[in-house]
């Protein structure tokens, strides 16, 4: 089971696996192994003895974890019923604070690049066009992901890219939202957040997802991030200048990243569809 890395809160618009929302708990399921754990919950591999199907189950261990789980369920349920693609959400057990998900095999994009080195151009474009397309559809539903990064892009063993982890995703009419965490923190991963999101008391727009996808491309193409520390991010914010792209980024992707990672939001792509169109023009 070494290939199984990430199973929580997954959405894909290219899967052919059917999925339905089920009622009831998972008391009859057999726990086969622990797949992961964090501060708010655990992920287990479970098996349904009635049909021997295997799933991933995310269980909340804290009150914050329960809220995150409930939010994730609401978002994925919206996508399940309104998008022609398929989500691997299987069931939500309120009593036992659990989500049952389709069990995917593969690796996240970080491990994929670490183990295999630079991606061939055709795979790079395939993966990022796919994720951009998923985000286009999310935005049409009024949903912001807010945590797009390489660690939340999963590559299945079939070679398909899947966007994962909808823990802080939100339905936001007008695709604009202002929200901070319980302790006043800005929600998201700082290295993948646009400057205005880090300095505007929790503001989130489509620019969070656009900038996050651009930084993910930068991360894959260079094998690193522009800043190693939060201090580095602070220094960058103080300059009020766009990131200078390193020479190892191929010429065909430089204009795309210069626009996606521009310091000012008005200088970036104004929609994910515009970003996707730019990726589709690369030969």
Statement to judge: residues 92 and 123 lie in one domain = no
pLDDT band at 90 (very low <50, low <70, confident <90, very high): low
Residue 19 has pLDDT above 50, yes or no: no
Residue with tokens 């690369």: 282
Average model confidence (pLDDT) across the chain? 81
Residue 281 has pLDDT above 90, yes or no: yes
Statement to judge: residues 126 and 162 lie in one domain = yes
pLDDT of residue 181: 59
Q: Has residue 139 been placed in a domain?
A: yes
Statement to judge: residues 92 and 121 lie in one domain = no
pLDDT of residue 8: 38
CATH of the domain at 93: 3.30.200.20
Statement to judge: residues 131 and 211 lie in one domain = yes
CATH of the domain at 202: 1.10.510.10
Residue 227 has pLDDT above 90, yes or no: no
Q: Has residue 183 been placed in a domain?
A: yes
- Rounded to whole angstroms, the Cα distance separating 190 from 196 reads 11
Q: Has residue 74 been placed in a domain?
A: yes
Residue 89 has pLDDT above 80, yes or no: no
pLDDT of residue 173: 82
**Residue 51: domain span:** 30-102
CA gyration radius, the chain: 19
pLDDT of residue 101: 78
Cα-based torsion angle of the residue sequence 22, 9, 63, 170 in order, rounded to the nearest 10 degrees: -100
Residue 88 has pLDDT above 60, yes or no: no
**225 compared with 24, residue with greater pLDDT:** 225
Residue 7 has pLDDT above 60, yes or no: no
Q: Which of 102, 134, 149 is the last residue of a domain?
A: 102
**223 compared with 104, residue with greater pLDDT:** 223
pLDDT band at 185 (very low <50, low <70, confident <90, very high): low
Residue 212 has pLDDT above 90, yes or no: yes
Statement to judge: residues 64 and 195 lie in one domain = no
Statement to judge: residues 68 and 121 lie in one domain = no
Q: Which of 70, 102, 134 is the last residue of a domain?
A: 102
**182 compared with 72, residue with greater pLDDT:** 72
Statement to judge: residues 124 and 252 lie in one domain = yes
Q: Is 177 exposed, middle or buried (0-12, 13-18, 19+ CB in 10 A)?
A: middle
> Residue 42 is inside which H or E element, if any?
strand 41-48
Residue 271 has pLDDT above 50, yes or no: yes
For residues 103 and 32, the answer to whether their CB atoms sit within 8 Å is no
Give the residue from 197, 142, 150, 190 showing the smallest Cα distance to 169. Answer: 142
- Number of domains present in the structure of the chain: 2
Q: Has residue 2 been placed in a domain?
A: no
pLDDT of residue 3: 40
Statement to judge: residues 153 and 267 lie in one domain = yes
């Amino acid at each position: 089971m070494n290939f199984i890395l990430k199973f929580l809160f997954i959405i894909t618009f290219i899967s052919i696996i059917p999925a339905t929302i089920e009622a009831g708990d998972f008391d009859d399921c057999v726990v086969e192994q622990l797949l992961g754990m964090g501060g708010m919950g655990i992920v287990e591999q479970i098996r349904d003895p009635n049909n021997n199907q295997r799933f991933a189950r995310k269980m909340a261990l804290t009150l914050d974890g329960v809220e995150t789980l409930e939010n994730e369920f609401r978002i994925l349920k919206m996508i399940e019923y309104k998008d022609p693609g398929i989500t691997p959400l299987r069931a939500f057990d309120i009593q036992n604070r659990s989500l049952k998900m389709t069990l995917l095999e593969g690796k996240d994009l970080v491990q994929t690049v670490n183990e295999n080195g630079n991606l061939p151009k055709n795979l790079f474009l395939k993966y990022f066009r796919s994720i951009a397309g998923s985000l286009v559809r999310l935005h049409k539903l009024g949903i912001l992901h807010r945590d797009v990064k390489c660690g939340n892009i999963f590559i299945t063993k079939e070679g398909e890219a899947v966007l994962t982890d909808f823990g802080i995703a939100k339905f936001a009419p007008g695709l604009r939202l202002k929200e901070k965490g319980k302790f006043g923190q800005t929600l998201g991963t700082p290295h993948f957040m646009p400057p205005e999101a880090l300095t505007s008391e929790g503001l989130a727009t489509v620019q969070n997802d656009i900038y996050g996808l651009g930084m993910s491309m930068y991360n894959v193409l260079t094998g690193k991030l522009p800043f190693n520390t939060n201090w580095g991010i602070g220094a960058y914010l103080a300059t009020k200048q766009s990131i200078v792209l390193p020479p190892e980024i191929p010429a065909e992707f430089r204009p795309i990243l210069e626009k996606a990672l521009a310091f000012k939001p008005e200088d970036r792509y104004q929609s994910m569809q515009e970003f996707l169109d730019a990726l589709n023009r690369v030969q």
